[in-house]
Amino acid sequence: MKPNRYILWGMTKSTLIHIFLLSVTLTCLFPIFWMLRCALMTNETVFVDHSVIPHQLHFGNFAIAWTKGNFAVYFLNSVIYTVCVVTGIVLISSLAAYSLSRLKFPGKNIIFYMFVAAMMIPLPGSFVALFVLMTKLHLANTRFGYILCMINVGLSMSILLFKTFFDKMPQELEDAARIDGCGKLGIWWNMAMPFARPAIAVVVIFNSLNVWNEYILATLLLGDSNLMPLQRGIMVFQGANSTDYPVLMAGLTMAAVPIIMVYLFMQKHIVKGLSSGEVLG
Amino acid sequence: MDRKTKDASIFKDNLQNFLFVFPALSIFCIFYIYPFYKMINLSFYDWRGIGPMHWIGLSNYQELMGDHLWWDSIGHAGYITLIALTFQNMLAFALALACDREIRMKRFYRLVFFIPPVLSEVVVGLIWNWILNPEMQNGQHIGMLNHFLFTTGFPQLVHDWLGDPRTALTTIAIVHSWKGFGWGFIMLLAGLQTIDKQLYEAAKVDGAGSWKTFMNVTMPMMLPVILVVMILTILGSMQVFVLIIAMVNEGLVNHTDVPVTRIFSAMQNTNRFGYACAEAVIFGTVLIGISFISKKLSDKARQV
């Protein structure tokens, strides 16, 4: 009867493992479900109706948040910031990484180690000085200023990631392009960038997540509500309408859904990026 | 080609190559190096953000030494970090071990566990703030958790989780762990998958049980990854901030203060820029110390 017992034990074991995994899955998904559920209720029913699925679905909160809650502006701002910052980071960091990896000039190593060191040294309070600087430069409360600050945040990690890719690029590729008459910029754009496509994907995804979810600098630098991104706008809305939970939940849904969608479509790259350890330095 | 033109062309070449780095370098110098210097510099001044600056030497630091709210706030961050290190990382490791085998729906689990980490701290904080809502209306609990506890027969557990100083920090730490365990899970799972399966086979042939295999094969192989996860957990949890203001917002009082909220409020609420910078310098030094020690430890572990 020995094999039978083995099978039985194996089955119990895998059932237990599934119960464990499923219960964690449930705790992961439940708060998000709860946010959606409450976004679909009215201010009257949300305090009274305790059923898991509300009796009446009410979609008006999204419209209220979008117009009266100013979320249309916040949402657009978040899109602008994310697109500008990520484009900026990809271009600037890949240019720098290309030069640091394939080209020669004096002081190159010092510059590279400076970027590496910046990644290792946490600067939790530098936002105080950054705020002072931005005010002095008259860049506080401007889109441009915020974008520049956010580009700086993602720069070191992206340069490191691009450099590890460019280091692996075969010399023959570069030589072939040079024979075809490409200049340095041409090689960077036509050869190196397509070669580093996986790195671009990782840089784009991680920086998009980071910019979309950023809060501290947006709070410090952007006081004008027409310039605020979503995360900041949500807190402003919450401060002004602290009891209007359904509309607040609708606003949270608008901030969460795009990022979840991006994640679901791109999760292969996220796992790859995290697993390669390159993101971590 | 004579020497002069050759030198000139080398110079031109170097300059061209340098120009590639120039945009990155200038942004880095303006937005990283300068604030770094300015932060240290300002910490020696008494300054209200505008108006005259008074050089006061080490007075800010002296005051900071006796500021028990500040040291409490470091203790709070340490407490959250401790829970993240134990509870969150053990959960992540257990989940990674459970997924590192032929198991159905493996990809689904991996997909779901990384959803909380991609959400913003504002969103996570406000959702949990709503779930943990302590208020009552018409004799009913409006917060989902308290309502659930009440109706399932645990009315004695109904509690103002975030308002009570005894539970606030732990509640925050648990929500922080909820948001964070996915990172550790993905990294640990990736680490487990790089372990050569032949090692497990060899251990089995030698007659090692699962516990022995775990202690003698899995743990030593995983040590570098575990250390990396621990370093990132420490640095991430010590700097937790947005989650806290999203969760307790109005009721932001001293028992949920962490260093970054102290720095923020010294700057925003009392306009003491110099003092805020002194706090930032001390906190930065603590973090650099931690990451330096952890780096040394992980280098040592990698050599073994």
Question: Hey, are the CB atoms on B111 and A120 less than 8 Å from each other?
Answer: no
Pick from B16, B239, B281: which is nearest to A184 by CB? B16
Q: What is the average pLDDT across A74-96?
A: 96
pLDDT tens figures, B183-203:
999 999 988 988 888 888 888
Question: Hey, are the CB atoms on A125 and B31 less than 8 Å from each other?
Answer: no
Would you state the pLDDT for residue A280?
44
B92 inside domain: yes
Question: Hey, are the CB atoms on B127 and A32 less than 8 Å from each other?
Answer: yes
| Residue A275 banded pLDDT, cuts 50, 70, 90 | low
CATH of the domain at B193: 1.10.3720.10
Would you state the pLDDT for residue A1?
47
Highest mean pLDDT, choosing among A85-94, A271-280, B262-271: A85-94
Instruction: Name the percent of chain A lying above pLDDT 90.
Output: 53
Pick from A215, A248, A274: which is nearest to B242 by CB? A215
pLDDT tens figures, B115-167:
999 999 999 999 999 999 888 887 788 888 988 888 888 888 888 888 888 89
Would you state the pLDDT for residue A30?
94
Over 90: is that where the pLDDT of A178 sits?
A: no
Question: Hey, are the CB atoms on B126 and A231 less than 8 Å from each other?
Answer: no
**For testing the chain A interface, which of B81, B108, B126, B264 should be mutated: the one with the most A CBs within 10 Å?**
B126
Cβ of residue A158 closer than 8 Å to a chain B Cβ: no
**For testing the chain B interface, which of A21, A138, A278 should be mutated: the one with the most B CBs within 10 Å?**
A21
Q: What is the average pLDDT across B232-259?
A: 85
Q: What is the average pLDDT across A161-166?
A: 90
Q: What is the average pLDDT across A138-164?
A: 93
DSSP 8-state code for residue B256? G
pLDDT tens figures, B10-41:
888 899 999 999 999 999 999 999 999 999 99
Q: What is the average pLDDT across B93-116?
A: 90
Q: What is the average pLDDT across A5-11?
A: 79
Question: Hey, are the CB atoms on A104 and B14 less than 8 Å from each other?
Answer: yes
Cβ of residue A93 closer than 8 Å to a chain B Cβ: yes
B30 inside domain: no
- What's the topology of domain A70-276? MetI-like fold (1.10.3720)
Over 60: is that where the pLDDT of A161 sits?
A: yes
Pick from B31, B34, B281: which is nearest to A148 by CB? B31
Other C-beta atoms within 10 Å of A106: how many?
Answer: 9
Q: Mean pLDDT, chain A, as a whole number?
A: 88
pTM: 0.90
Residue B17 tokens read as 């190559």
pLDDT tens figures, B39-61:
999 999 999 888 888 899 899 99
Q: For residues B2 and B90, what is the distance between their CA atoms, to the nearest angstrom?
A: 69
Q: Tell me the residue ranges of DSSP E strands in B129-281.
A: 136-137, 140-141
Question: Hey, are the CB atoms on A125 and B239 less than 8 Å from each other?
Answer: no
Amino acid at A248: L
Chain B residues inside the 8 Å CB shell of A111: 21, 25
Would you state the pLDDT for residue B210?
83
Provide the shortest C-alpha distance from residue B137 to chain A (in Å): 7
Question: Hey, are the CB atoms on B118 and A184 less than 8 Å from each other?
Answer: no
**For testing the chain B interface, which of A128, A163, A235, A280 should be mutated: the one with the most B CBs within 10 Å?**
A128
Cβ of residue A181 closer than 8 Å to a chain B Cβ: no
Cβ of residue A59 closer than 8 Å to a chain B Cβ: no
| Residue A175 banded pLDDT, cuts 50, 70, 90 | confident
In chain A, what are the domain boundaries? 2-39, 70-276
Chain B residues inside the 8 Å CB shell of A210: none
B277 inside domain: yes
Would you state the pLDDT for residue A2?
55
B294 inside domain: yes
Cβ of residue A272 closer than 8 Å to a chain B Cβ: no
Among A33-42, A159-168, A262-271, which stretch is predicted with the lowest mean pLDDT?
A: A262-271
Domain that holds residue B185: 64-303
Chain A residues inside the 8 Å CB shell of B21: 95-96, 99-100, 108, 111
ipTM (interface predicted TM): 0.89
Provide the shortest C-alpha distance from residue B67 to chain A (in Å): 18
Output phi, psi for A121, to 5 deg: -90, 110
Pick from A93, A125, A275: which is nearest to B277 by CB? A125
Q: What is the average pLDDT across A96-103?
A: 93
Give how many domains chain B has, as a whole number.
1
Would you state the pLDDT for residue A281?
36
Chain A residues inside the 8 Å CB shell of B283: 124-125
Among A126-130, A272-276, B62-66, B229-233, which stretch is predicted with the lowest mean pLDDT?
A: A272-276
Q: What is the average pLDDT across B204-233?
A: 87
Q: What is the average pLDDT across A95-106?
A: 92
Cβ of residue A263 closer than 8 Å to a chain B Cβ: yes
Q: Mean pLDDT, chain B, as a whole number?
A: 89
Other C-beta atoms within 10 Å of B7: how many?
Answer: 10
What is the DSSP code string of chain A? -HHHHHHHHHHHHHHHHHHHHHHHHHHHHHHHHHHHHHHTS-TTHHHH---SS-SS---HHHHHHHHTT-HHHHHHHHHHHHHHHHHHHHHHHHHHHHHHHH---TTHHHHHHHHHHHHHS--TTHHHHHHHHHHHTT-TT-HHHHHHHHHHHHHHHHHHHHHHHHHTS-HHHHHHHHHTT--HHHHIIIIIHHHTHHHHHHHHHHHHHHHHT--HHHHHH--STTT--HHHHHHHHHHHSTT-HHHHHHHHHHHHHHHHHHHHHHHHHHHHHHHHSTTT-
Minimum Cα–Cα distance from A251: chain B residue:
B123
pLDDT tens figures, A235-256:
999 888 877 889 999 999 999 9
Over 60: is that where the pLDDT of A277 sits?
A: no
Would you state the pLDDT for residue A279?
44
Would you state the pLDDT for residue A276?
60
| Residue B243 banded pLDDT, cuts 50, 70, 90 | very high
Q: What is the average pLDDT across A273-281?
A: 54
Would you state the pLDDT for residue B277?
94
Evaluate the CA torsion angle B192, B193, B194, B198 in order and state its sign: positive
B18-57: buried (b, 16+ CB within 10 Å) or exposed (e) per residue?
bebbebbbebbebbbebbbebbeebbbbbbeeeeeeeebe
